[in-house]
Amino acid sequence: MPGILQIIREAKEVAMYRGISMLIMAVTALTFSTTASAADIGLIDTIALKDNAAKWVILDARPKAAWAAAHIPGAFSFSWDNLTRINDNGVKFSSFSPQELARILANMGIDEKTPLVVYGDADKSWGGEGYDIWLFSWLGHKGPIRLLNGGIQAWRSQNLPLVKGEEKPIAPKTEYRIELKPRYTISTEEIQQQKSSFTLVDVRSTFEWIRGKIPGAVHIPWNNFHTGKENRPLTSNELQTLFSKHGVDISRPVVYYCTGGIRSAYAWLTHQLSGLPEARNYKGGWAAWEKRGVTRSVD
């Protein structure tokens, strides 16, 4: 039989081993929860924004001409058509690189912790408010991001003030720190290789859908993801009813696509707000899918 000293020594070793194991498990859990934490996105109503405007940096997702004509006081223009280009592979509506976006944001006085409110008018901005919020989520924005529920239409319906002209610039930040979240997007190669693992939802128009689609996709035009005269995003119940009507399988991750990731980003945002399992936005869209046989990494 082992002596008492040996028993004590072995007991200490077991205790130490268990302690180290628990520490490793705790660190692993903390690391996972940090890297996997969801973006802080949600809705804000007009009165809450009016009463607390100084707390937020406000971004107008409509075309810049619409912003110049009349915008919410303090709002800066931040439209998708000024943040995309035709890339070297000929793919239209390709987003600027994360590094370029980081420089633009820092020069606007925005860093990764800045509280943001985004608004548009859905139809006229082609869902650009969804694209802006998706873009910040993809970049790993750590501050709260809110969609103005009802957009500029709701603001107008409350007879709240609108202004014209340039806004007073904010002092530039030193940098905008990127922490890309691949979970919010998907590449052409991933879709090609794992298409059966996802539920693809094509949110383009019926005309676009008829001309060509990714095999196996379900068709739901993007403007079905908002409702009412103020184009508010669907509620969770409304979205699930829409999915049921079109036979969308939400047991698999849902991937939204359009031509270049703008309208699909609005559908993605509606999905994220619903509380359903997270979705992904194929930012390359049909424009990248058409190029898949010509070149790689075109997204």
Domain CATH code at residue 45: 3.40.250.10
Asked whether residue 113 is assigned to any structural domain, the reply reads: yes
Q: What is the mean pLDDT of each run of 10 residues along the chain (299 residues)?
A: 44 41 34 56 98 97 95 97 91 94 98 98 87 98 98 96 91 97 96 94 97 96 95 97 96 96 97 96 96 56
Last residue of a domain, one of 129, 155, 181: 181
Q: Are residues 84 and 2 in the same domain?
A: no
Q: What was the pLDDT predicted at 18? A: 41
Q: Are residues 79 and 129 in the same domain?
A: yes
d(CA 130, CA 58): 14
Q: Are residues 233 and 250 in the same domain?
A: yes
Q: Are residues 177 and 45 in the same domain?
A: yes
* Secondary structure, 3-state, 99-118: HHHHHHHHHCCCCCCCCEEE
Asked whether residue 36 is assigned to any structural domain, the reply reads: no
Asked whether residue 96 is assigned to any structural domain, the reply reads: yes
Q: What was the pLDDT predicted at 36? A: 53
Asked whether residue 298 is assigned to any structural domain, the reply reads: no
Q: What was the pLDDT predicted at 1? A: 41
Asked whether residue 297 is assigned to any structural domain, the reply reads: no
Q: What was the pLDDT predicted at 34? A: 33
Helix axes 263-273, 236-246, angle to 10 degrees: 120
Q: What was the pLDDT predicted at 22? A: 37
- Owning domain of residue 22: 1-30
Query: How many separate domains does the chain show?
Result: 3
Q: Are residues 58 and 161 in the same domain?
A: yes
